[in-house]
């Protein structure tokens, strides 16, 4: 129990620190990337110099990716606490990832049947959902008939959000690594999405249950107490 509390405090510190660092990093990254793009247009560059610039732009792009897994929405200084049933968050973030789903030929199903409300930080919750939706879509990369199903219901005073994909699935061992910083099996992965998701759900004293079968798909079930 004590370990649990320490773990939970650690997660809080991690997510707060990450949010503010990410926020501060965004401006310098954008500015640097802009100037490099300008520089890249110069007619006096040698091929070697051009190569350096392009490599730098790629690396900046990667840094931006890391930040966006942590903070597409969050404004870390401004807490955004609401008391609501989570439908708006699930639906809004579903709309945000629709273009991404379409590019990957993934169909998205959405169903809602919950009358309970709870307190949560809107920014954190949206970021968490985006990360889970994105992982679901990415797990169905290259498949023809992938489906991402999002369902909100209630069970014993808990709000249940279920996010199911028909993708590659995970072994028990892979499941046990979820949420470890920088654990990623993707070529361009950050390994930060699940860490962020766990820490956001941890903040509302919720739990995430994972059910997965290799080659069949994965279900993330979030239970948030009201």
Q: Which of 139, 150, 159, 160 binds ligand ADP (CB under 6 A)?
A: 139
Binding mask 129-148 for Mg ion (x = CB under 5 A): ------x-------------
Position 93 contacts Mg ion (CB under 5 A): no
User: In this chain, which residue has its C-beta nearest to Mg ion?
Assistant: 193
Q: How does strand 217-225 pair with strand 158-165?
A: antiparallel
CA–CA dist 135, 122 (Å, integer): 20
Position 104 contacts ligand ADP (CB under 6 A): no
CB nearer to Mg ion: give 72 or 153. 72
Position 202 contacts ligand ADP (CB under 6 A): no
Q: Which of 121, 124, 136, 160 binds ligand ADP (CB under 6 A)?
A: 136
In the structure encoding, which two tokens stand for residue 140, read together? 């169905």
Residues between 144 and 173 with contacts to ligand ADP, criterion CB under 6 A: 165, 167-170
3-state SS, one letter per residue, for 164-183: EECCCCCCHHHHHHCCCCCC
* Helix or strand (DSSP H, E) at 160: strand 158-165
Query: CA geometry: angle at 127 spanning 125 and 131, to 5°?
Result: 115
Instruction: Report the partner that residue 170 touches, choosing among ligand ADP, Mg ion, none (CB closer than 5 to 8 A by kind).
Output: ligand ADP
In the structure encoding, which two tokens stand for residue 161, read together? 């959000």
CB nearer to ligand ADP: give 195 or 201. 195
- Determine the 3-state secondary structure of 117 from DSSP: coil
Binding mask 168-197 for Mg ion (x = CB under 5 A): -------------------------x----
Strand-pairing partners, residue 210, are 220
């Amino acid at each position: 129990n004590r370990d649990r509390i320490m773990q939970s405090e650690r997660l809080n510190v991690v997510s707060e620190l990450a949010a503010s660092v990410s926020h501060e990093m965004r401006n310098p990254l954008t500015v640097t990337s802009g100037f490099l793009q300008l520089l890249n247009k110069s007619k006096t560059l040698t091929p070697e110099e051009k190569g350096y610039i392009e490599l730098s732009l790629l690396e900046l792009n990667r840094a931006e990716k890391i930040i966006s897994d942590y903070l597409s929405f969050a404004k870390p200084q401004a807490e955004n606490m609401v008391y609501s049933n989570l439908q708006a968050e699930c639906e809004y973030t579903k709309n945000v990832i629709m273009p991404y789903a379409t590019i990957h030929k993934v169909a998205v199903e959405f169903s809602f049947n919950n009358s309970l409300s709870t307190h949560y930080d809107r920014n954190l919750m949206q970021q968490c959902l985006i990360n889970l939706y994105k992982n679901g879509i990415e797990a169905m990369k290259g498949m023809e008939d992938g489906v991402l199903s999002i369902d909100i219901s209630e069970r014993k005073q808990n709000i249940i959000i279920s996010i199911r994909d028909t993708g590659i699935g995970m072994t028990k061992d892979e499941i046990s690594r979820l949420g470890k910083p920088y654990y990623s099996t993707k070529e361009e992965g950050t390994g930060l999405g699940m860490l962020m998701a766990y820490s956001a759900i941890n903040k509302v004293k919720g739990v995430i249950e994972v059910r997965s079968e290799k080659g069949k798909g994965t279900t993330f079930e979030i239970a948030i107490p009201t």
